[in-house]
Amino acid sequence: MKFSELLSLLESEANGAQTGPSFLDLAEQAQAQLEAEIARTRTEMFAAVAEHERSLLAAVLRTS
């Protein structure tokens, strides 16, 4: 959603002319989406680090 659309939504809420979801509802949805994306990214990052550690350990074991 563009800034101008958010501003328009806030103005319509202030004037009592809200026709769709409230600004708070949209903010909560955005927060939930961001939290889900952060959790997914964190999981992927930890998996990548674990894989890298395994390959480093395998390389060390091969050379010793």
Q: What is the pLDDT of residues 7-62, one digit of tens each?
A: 888 888 888 777 777 778 888 988 999 999 999 999 999 999 999 999 999 999 99
Residue 64: domain span: 24-64
Q: For residue 39, tell me if it sits in a domain.
A: yes
Q: Into how many domains does the chain fold?
A: 1
Instruction: Assess contact for 34 and 21: CB atoms under 8 A.
Output: no
18 inside domain: no
What does DSSP assign to residue 20?
Answer: S
Give pLDDT, residue 45.
98
User: Is 49 a domain residue?
Assistant: yes
